[in-house]
Amino acid sequence: MAKGFFISKTIGIVGAIVGVAAVSTIIALSVVYSQEKAKNNEVSPTDGGTTSKPPVTTSAPSNLPWDKYRLPKSLVPDHYNVTLWPRLTPDKTTGLYIFTGDSSVEFQCVEETDLILIHSNKLNYTKLENDQYATLKSVSGGKVPSIKTSWLKIETQYLVVQLDGKLMKDHTYQLSTKFTGELADDLGGFYRSEYIEDGVKKVVATTQMQPTDARKAFPCFDEPAMKAIFHITLIHQNRTVALSNGEEKESGHVNMDGQVVQRTVFEPTEKMSTYLLAFIVSDFGFINQTIDGVLIRIFARKPAIDAGQGEYALNKTGPILKFFEKYYNSKYPLPKSDQIALPDFNAGAMENWGLITYRETALLYDEEYSSNSNKERIASIIAHELAHMWFGNLVTLRWWNDLWLNEGFASYVEYLGADEAEPDWNLKDLIVLNDVHRVFAIDALASSHPLSSKEEDIQKPEQISELFDAISYSKGASVLRMLSDFLTEPVFTKGLQSYLNEFQFGNAVYTDLWNHLQKAVSESGTILPDTVHQIMNTWVLQMGFPVVTINTTTGVVSQQHFLLDPDSEVTTPSIFKYEWIVPIKWMKTGADKDSVWLTKKSTTIEAMKALEAEWVLANHNVSGYYRVNYDEANWEKLLTTLNNDHQRIPVINRAQLIDDAFNLARAKIIPTVLALKTTKYLAQEREYMPWDSALGSLDFFELMFDRSEVYGVMQEYLKKQVTPLFEYFKIMTDSWATIPAGHMDQYNQVNAISLACKSGLEECQTLAKTWFKEWMDNKTNPIHPNLRSTVYCNAIAAGGAAEWEFAWTQFKNASIAIEADKLRYALACTKQPWLLNRYLEYTLDANMIRKQDATSTIVYIAGNVVGQSLAWDFVRARWTYIFTQYGGGSFSFSNLINGVTERFSTAYELQQLKQFKADNAETGFGSGTLAVDQSIERTIANMKWIAENKQSVLNWFKAEVKP
């Protein structure tokens, strides 16, 4: 699954615009990419006919099989036959949208048992001829036990079938059921998505199964290792299109319940996991092409297809698919690759095998409305999902505790696939900003967690959902990139290819990949200080990462566990004692040196001693997952090099020096003033990555000081630093008439305008207000898509109700989601509290703000210094409602809690946060449980940091802006 609550680069690189702080790389949001599960309530009977509510039990968990969250190992599915009929109009009696279905599963008995447990959630079963909720027959022949009783265990989500005799080992049986479910708008399982087209409401029936919601669509053995073949049939309204994982086999009209409907039968799937199933009914349009026998289709709302918004995705899918075939040395395993853009979708995208689902913003591109960051996001997410077609789908991790390998791998190679699609953009470098630096902020907390969890610790659906976080995605990507770098890509891909070949159509654990990589290492003669297992265990089995300190006077190189708050207590033990086996690529005075390894707490490396005119720079291109500190003399030499001839230091490392320095200062390892000095050279810097790193680092200062006297003088300093960059792009673009040619330059133009306007450069503010007024007056938008988020935000912040109402109208009328997202962000920039309060109320009204967007909208409002306290009060007052009503897939609770508390830095706010935790202990926080503790930890660290640094920071900024 792609990264769920995605803040586009157009917004993300803006930093804090006119008081709206973007997601800081220092106080990073812990992003959860999957849906939070609602408490398991039954769906009320939906058709008043033969469907009844089965008896349920709510007894306390015991040692009985149905009280355990994991399936017993006695039964193994072979194939399913599933027929589903979603109703795209509400039931006349209840007003609910429903679906009906019947399903049979053939399974082999591998251990004698008199019990069948099959996952089921929120399904109502029809009593069959045996007066039970299922029938059982033998496929192998011979006597079959009768069903003694069948009932639902709500807590553990099972249909329980108890037999009056034993199923025989090695015999095959078939279990059949008929059921009804609600086609709810909860974004999980089989659900509905709605949109308006030509004034008419349209309904789509679609799916999101990962991680544990296939059981909401039909009864199934809903664990990744329970792979099977699926025969899917969909009954659907005439003139609608039915899609599933397999190709369409046949379609025709049938008479059902007195009405003529369409019946579409699909080819059987390959052997696959339940979480990768998809079935969709819509009246979407599509475009297609065939590449080397693989049919590629892009589906979306007909107006979007007619407007050409699927063309970019169609043109890039083929090359990316071919790239991965070469990278994996394995032909794409399916005959088709469908990709569909949905109006309502919780994650960024989902890698269903052969039918990938996307948010509209992640698939549809329109030259008139889409920025270069929107375009990059589409290429990256397509690459992420196509990478899964092999890694995750063809070979699937055995259980969710290894999710990090599945998502971390796709999050790494998405940069390789997108680079193939857009080779001129240098996308591979951006992993440092988007993933490495971002996840450092979370992994430097004492409340972080290791990449790999123990299987027994991940049992419940909520525990599985919690794994879809920045650690799994971004740290996973970062350490796999490091592994590929120190092995070299040929060795890495050789091991990867043999791994996929051995486990295709099956399941594996992460150490299986290590085994294959080790074999490739041995065959290639690559020299490592230890085995792949031993090296990687130090990165996978313990949380956090090291700061490597190099003393260039003595040559002593040492490591220690890096914690943003050095006073925080690490209660999680590590068998490696928080030491890592660290690969170090480095340079001396601009010349690359031979890589070295740090395999213990401290060692002496003679080559790293530096003479007076020499300087040392480690972690070249940030290929390693660690921060670097130096002795004071080397820091001063690096600062001098930045100020005098910054291009002697590679651009990625210029970004690294800034990010490392600010974080080392947060951790009290170096003085804060030293970190601030890394920004002095920026008046000469024209590259995107160092500027973005600086803005991300200074976001934290803004969050801590935008309610204090430091803010004014800090803005003066930033205005002084950014003015040359603003002028540079003004000249380059002929006074903003054009846009820069380079991808990174386009990003940095946004940075220049954003920071110039935010820091009070009058020319910039006038530019933003003039453009926006021109749009309001002439109804023709003159603002380039790259600049819209920034300009909209600044104009709305400077304006009043008229600007806000105009933007709201444009938001409601936007025909493309990408434009709507820019407006939805900018509406949070107003300085009027009454408008922000009204906007907050809109977030819980699905007619105003789609459920999928509620979280990010509240976080945008909290990012505004005026909206911070309003959003916090709103979330506290509505928590029970938010948690229960939006728990079924639409809310990223972790992101919400981190987002509304990231500015917290006072004793009063800490007390409120602790009270919030206590008051809602009974309701719970779902996937946001860890985020509450992280927010408390972060608030304490913020309080200490301000007490220790406010005066010195104020003095430094004052000295720098003196005429």
Catalytic positions, please? Answer: 385
DSSP calls for 485-496? HHH-HHHHHHHH
d(CA 250, CA 673): 70
Percent of the chain that is helix, strand, coil (3-state, to 5): 45, 20, 35
Collect all residues with Cβ–Cβ distance below 8 Å to 267 and sequence separation of at least 6: 246, 247, 248, 249
Distance from C-alpha of 179 to C-alpha of 401, rounded to nearest angstrom:
31
- Angle, vertex CA 419, rays to CA 414 and CA 423, nearest 5: 170
* Residue 558, Cβ density class (10 Å: 0-12 exposed, 13-18 middle, ≥19 buried): middle
CB atoms within 10 A of CB 499: 22
DSSP strand pairing (279-282 vs 506-508): unpaired
Alpha-carbon gap, residue 598 to 530, rounded angstroms:
11
Give me the count of residues in the chain: 963
Strand partners, 196: 201
Structure tokens, 239: 């003139």
CA atoms of 673 and 59, how far apart (whole Å): 60
Which structure tokens are listed for 710? 């430091």
Using alpha carbons, select from 386, 398, 239, 256 the residue that is nearest to residue 316: 386
Q: How far apart are CA 411 and CA 391, in angstroms?
A: 11
264 and 236 Cβ atoms separated by less than 8 Å: yes
User: Rounded to 5 degrees, what are φ and ψ at 228?
Assistant: -155, 175
CA nearest to 656, candidates 638, 668, 673 = 638
Q: What is the CA radius of gyration of the chain?
A: 28
Which of 707, 698, 786 is CA-nearest to residue 741? 786
Other C-beta atoms lying within 10 Å of the C-beta of residue 597: 17
Q: Is residue 119 within 8 Å of residue 222, measured between CB atoms?
A: yes
Q: Tokens 């390789």 — which residue?
A: 416
Centre a 10 Å sphere on the Cβ of residue 427 and count the other Cβ atoms it contains.
24
Beta bridge partners of 203: 194
Pairing state between β 395-397 and 506-508: parallel
E strand residue ranges, 633-673? none
The residue with tokens 């549809």 is 364
> Does residue 249 sit in helix, strand or coil?
strand
**Read out DSSP for 839-892?**
HHHHHT-TTTS-GGGHHHHHHHHHHBTTTHHHHHHHHHHHHHHHHHHSTTTT--
Task: State how far the Cα of 497 lies from the Cα of 513, in Å rounded to an integer.
Answer: 10
* Cα distance between residue 297 and residue 83, in whole Å: 24
> Can you tell me the distance from the alpha carbon of 236 to that of 280, in angstroms, rounded to the nearest whole number?
10
In three-state secondary structure terms, 94 is coil
